[in-house]
A and B are shown apart, each in its own frame.
Chain A
Amino acid sequence: MKGRQKISCKKCRAGIQGIFDRVNLVSATGSESILKFMPRAFGEHLEQCSECREFFKTLTDFAPALVEQLDSAVHDRPPPDLAVILDRQRQPAVPQERNRAGQVIPAAIRKTVHRLFGPARRPVAALRWASMSLAGLLLVSMIGFRVYTSFRINRAIEQEVGRIIEQIYREPLLAGIETALVRSRTDISDYVEDLSRAAESFLN
């Protein structure tokens, strides 16, 4: 940039873009007609700054040229055959939409599946992932809590049963049986001794 300039290149380009935002570049007839919309300071800057001039000229010239090239690239074929498309529309639902029983899957389920897994733009997809992750996290934590609680209960029951069994073994149900047995054992031996003595005297 040389010479006296009242506006900067940045400001000039922003101004040019602002004009392009308001006018239709295809219907505008060349750069001169667009220059009319611009304040004099921009025109003066463009006269002095070759880079901004080139920027302005590139953007004013490209649209009419591009539209011609695009149109020649796409308009060499006939419009879509509506009869064929309408025939496709009349065809029955695709097989994937039927379940094993041959019944049509309810539209609500299909819509839900489509909403969850169908193609979507980035913010929608991000929202889906976030909500599905949150739901998954909640589900996992709920299941985890349930498993942990049942594990704790089972463990408490096992401990209680063990304690009761231990107590049973520690205190036998027929308390005093051993002494009774010992006492009865001496009684029997006395009886056997008396019996043998009586038998001996009878034989003698």
Chain B
Amino acid sequence: MHGRKAAAGALPNEESEDFILIRRFLRAGDSRVFRTLVERHLPSIRRLLYTLFNGQREEMEDAEQEIVLSLFQRLKDFQFRSSFRTYFYRLARNRGIDCLRKKRSQDRTVARLGLGLWNRELPGPEEQAVHREETDTLLAVFQTLPSKDRQLILMKDIDGFALNEMEDILGVPIGTVKSRLHRAREKLAKHVRGRR
């Protein structure tokens, strides 16, 4: 399973495979190589986007395209000093947050103009039932956590990043990462217990 493989963390040979692909792409500019490179890391990026955008599909797809385009433009500057997985994840997170900010500002404008009222559709009974079912899942419990806590748990416990990699991605000291992660796990355990 691709997702599982990505979740297991980047092994040294996986990293070197990434480097080989990047060098091949930079040498020949082959878009198929680029595609392969992106698809290797796409599951963890999609999980991150799901966490950032609360599962809103359209926004996730737009952000995904922005991220891939940004990677395409910046890959020539990759220094081969750090792991590509960390590099790509950091880029995706930063671009994702940019997209989220842009979307929030657009939403605020729409709300200010009162346009949202026209587009809002009330959920039908079936949708309400599906929603009720969805809120019982572990994923729904996870989504009730604050975004920062979700990201930390996702990075460490789902995508298997090491603490020093998280320090690199988040740009905060390792001690801060650790204490925030511990608090996030405590919250998650509390939320799960509360749902039982």
**Secondary structure type dominating chain B contacts:** helix
Contacts of B178 in A (CB 8 A): 21
CB pair B163–A119 under 8 Å, yes or no, is: no
**Secondary structure type dominating chain A contacts:** helix
Contacts of A121 in B (CB 8 A): 94, 97, 171
Is the C-beta of A89 less than 8 angstroms from some C-beta in chain B? yes
The residue that B138 contacts in the complex, of A14, A54, A62, A88, with Cβ under 8 A, is A62
Contacts of A71 in B (CB 8 A): 1, 3, 43, 47
For chain B, the bracket of interface size reads 35 or more
* B:164-196 near A, CB below 8 Å: 171, 178, 181-182, 185-186, 188-189, 192-193
Is the C-beta of A182 less than 8 angstroms from some C-beta in chain B? no
Q: Nearest Cβ distance between residue A124 and chain B, in whole angstroms?
A: 10
Q: How many positions in chain A have a CB within 8 Å of any CB in the partner chain?
A: 36
Contacts of A67 in B (CB 8 A): 3-4, 7, 47, 158
Is the C-beta of A24 less than 8 angstroms from some C-beta in chain B? yes
Q: How many angstroms from the CA of A74 to the CA of B73 in the assembled complex?
A: 25
Contacts A67-B7, A69-B138; is A74 near B72 (CB within 8 Å)? no
6 A-B pairs (CB sep. < 8 Å): A58-B192, A67-B47, A69-B137, A75-B2, A79-B39, A82-B34
List 6 A-B pairs, minimum CB-CB distance, nearest first.
A74-B46, A69-B139, A71-B3, A24-B160, A25-B157, A26-B7
Interface residues of A (CB under 8 A from B): 13-14, 17, 20-21, 24-27, 54-55, 58-59, 62-63, 65-67, 69-71, 73-75, 77, 79-80, 82-86, 88-89, 119, 121
